[in-house]
Amino acid sequence: MSDDNQIYIPPSFFAVYSDARQRLREPIDVVRARYEICEDLAGHLVGHAQIQHHTEVPVESEILRRIHAGLATPESGVSPAEAGWIVQRLAELLGWEGPEIAEPAGD
């Protein structure tokens, strides 16, 4: 069986779905779909973060912490681990230093 999908999933995202022995806990198709969602969400949040930075909250780490808090809620549609990855990716896209985010309990 050939995997012809051309989407590159970075190791940092594979880590979200890997166990202690670095085996995926979900099928690759699930991981790929979740990666696409998380990458798209990080991209969409760039504009929001920039607006916040220029109008309301001048501290980059505080903006990222607030976005993480919103993503870490069950209503967001992403897991706590995905929320952490999205915020780190957002920081990367913005050229900001990523915030210190506590690991979710039980993962």
Residue 2 lies in a domain: no
pLDDT digits (tens, 9 = 90+) for 31-58: 999 999 999 999 999 999 999 998 987 8
Residue 69 lies in a domain: yes
The boundaries of the domain holding residue 70 are 11-94
Tell me how many domains the chain contains.
1
Residue 5 lies in a domain: no
Query: H helices of 1-107, where?
Result: 11-16, 28-55, 60-71, 80-94
Q: Residue 23 half-sphere exposure, CB side, CA atoms within 13 Å?
A: 2
Residue 70 lies in a domain: yes
**This prediction's pTM:** 0.86
Residue 80 lies in a domain: yes
Q: From residue 31, how far is each of 5, 7, 8, 95 by CA, in Å?
A: 12, 11, 11, 26
3: confidence class by pLDDT, cuts 50, 70, 90: low
Residue 100 lies in a domain: no
The CA distance from 37 to 54, in Å, is 27
Residue 4 lies in a domain: no
